[in-house]
Amino acid sequence: LVEILSYHQVMPTYLDFMFVFGAQSDPTDLRFGGFREQVMMKKDTAEGLSIPELGRSGRQFQLCYNLKGVSFKQSDNDNFNHDEWSIRQAAVYHQFDVAHGTALWIVTKGRLDLQERYRDLTGANGRPEDRSFSTLENCFRSSLAPHLLFSHWATEDWRWYIRWLESSSMAIYGPRGPGYAHREYKAFDLQDMQYWQDKTSEAVMVLESNVDVIRAIQKFYFDLKQHHDFPQSIKEQCGDDLTTFDSHLREVVNNFKMQISRAKLLAGIIRDRKELILQHLQGQASERTEELNKNLEREAIVMRIITIVTLIYLPATFVSTFFSTDVVKYQNQGTAPGNGIFSSTALYRWLQVALPLTAVTLLVAWATYKITKSTRQKSKRIRDIEKNPEQQPKAPSGRSPKDPAHLNVRVGWPFVRRLLKASRGCNWTRKASVEKPSGLP
């Protein structure tokens, strides 16, 4: 390879495009692209590079670039989304001698599809102007066709590739809730949408890179036509060919722009669908939380019922246990065993103790609940006043806002205790005044 590139005096920057290729599991350097050129057409600077025996005058221009196309690899009959596509690169090098009309093409690409197309282009079935090399002008004219060949290759199958991306799984619109059909999403669905968004963004980047390269080729040949050292015969006889060549490249650019618009729109849609899936996931989490709260509420009701029943039966259980001991006896120990003796006195004593004790237990439970509720409300009121001091309630007429009696009514004794604790270090002077009751001497 070194001998071939050295013999043909290939520009060194072409190696950057060749290093992209090699054995690899996934395509690398898809973000790498560009266009390089080198023009040497002055007669005084070309004498040292002239080799007439090899058809080299030293007056030449050379350029290299890479284009990226997409190709279908493998189909999956079970799931259309599992089809395999591959983005492939092609590195192109071209050299043209403006004095002898000799041209050199080096194309680096996996597989031989471009080589077969080039053979068809210059073969017996190709157009005469693309395989005519009799004059300098014909050689230059025929050198334009391969650029169009490579450009059209880069535009193929992008339409179907973006259509495949558009068929990716999307979120489902519509209301949610009982009676409506909707899909239950998982975290995998969000990752799947991210995968499709990455694929779409990659396609946009590749298409924009191709557009930049095609425009660089257009600009290069436009500037070449304006170059004062470019042969005048080529300018005159190949002017229409350069115009046609430029129009074909504009069509290629327009095709790429259309696919870029589709891909960008798809990327925006996928981004919105990701947000929709995220909202669905949050809604599903809220539904599960609501269902859990309902279950906890039902369990709390059951526990409350059990607690009330326990409070009712607890005194009677205690009394029954108490009367079953040896402390109280209503039968003689010497009584013969039989069917048992009913004792109204024992029942009367049991009711006398059990019913009042049950009432006292329920009363104590109710009082504990009310005290706890009142304490919770007072604590909440104190926290609200501490957060918003300007919203502290006004004292009744005739009382100071710092009057402990007023604070006890409004916020409770805990706040008063903190206030008195804070004022321990202050010296207070109190004057006791005793008013004489009216009517006394």
- Residue 149's pLDDT band (cuts 50, 70, 90): very high
The CA–CA distances, whole Å, from 34 to 29, 30, 334, 405 equal 12, 11, 117, 86
Tokens of 267: 């990327």
* Chain position carrying tokens 């199958």: 157
Is the pLDDT confidence value at 312 over 90? Answer: no
Q: What's the whole-number mean pLDDT along residues 339-365?
A: 77
**Phi-psi bin for 439: left (phi > 0), alpha (psi -120 to 50), beta?**
left
Residue 68 tokens read as: 């990226």
Report pLDDT for 417: 57
Model confidence pLDDT, tens digit, residues 5-44: 888 889 999 998 888 887 666 666 777 889 999 998 887 6
What's the pLDDT at 124? 84
Q: How many CB atoms lie within 10 A of CB 140?
A: 22
- Side-by-side strand order, sheet with 84-97: 35-40, 60-74, 84-97, 103-109
Question: What torsion do the CA atoms of 56, 18, 70, 207 make, to the nearest 10 degrees?
Answer: -80
pLDDT digits (tens, 9 = 90+) for 84-127: 888 889 999 999 998 888 899 999 988 888 999 999 888 888 88
What is each CA distance from 274 to 170, 279, 318, in whole angstroms? 9, 9, 64
Give CA–CA dist 348/240, Å, rounded. 126
Higher pLDDT, 69 or 338: 69
Element (H, E) at 85: strand 84-97
Identify the pLDDT of residue 42.
81
Instruction: List pLDDT tens digits, range 368-422.
Output: 888 988 888 888 888 888 777 665 555 555 554 444 444 444 444 555 455 455 5
Cα gap 200→165, rounded to integer Å: 7
The two most distant CA atoms of the chain are separated, in Å, by: 150
Q: In this predicted structure, what is the pLDDT of residue 389?
A: 67
R_g over Cα of the chain: 48
Q: Which among 23, 21, 19, 1 is positioned nearest to 10, based on CA atoms?
A: 1
How many angstroms from the chain centroid is the CA of residue 274?
6
Amino acid letter, residue 192: D
Residue 327 predicted with pLDDT over 60: no
CB 167 within 8 A of CB 76: no
Long-range contacts of 105-112 (CB under 8 A, 24+ apart): 105/146, 106/8, 106/10, 106/14, 107/150, 108/17, 108/18, 108/21, 109/21, 110/21
Q: What is the pLDDT of residue 439?
A: 46
Packed helices 136-155 and 239-323: angle between N→C axes, nearest 10 degrees: 20
113 compared with 323, residue with greater pLDDT: 113
Per-residue pLDDT at 140 exceeds 90: yes
Give the separation between CA 406 and CA 137, rounded to whole angstroms.
109
Tokens 């002055």, located at residue: 42
Which residue, among 231, 235, 165, has the nearest Cα to 202 in the 3D structure? 165
Burial class (CB in 10 A: 0-12, 13-18, 19+), 221: middle
Q: Counting Cβ atoms within 10 Å, is residue 377 exposed (0-12), middle (13-18) or buried (19+)?
A: exposed
Q: Structure pTM? A: 0.65
Pull the structure tokens for residue 413.
């004794």
Q: Are 103 and 137 in contact (CB under 8 A)?
A: no
Task: Tell me which DSSP letter residue 12 carries.
Answer: T
| Helices 239-323, 344-387: inter-axial angle, 10-degree rounding | 140
Those residues whose C-beta lies under 8 Å from the C-beta of residue 40, and which sit 6 or more positions away, are 46, 49, 58, 59, 60, 61
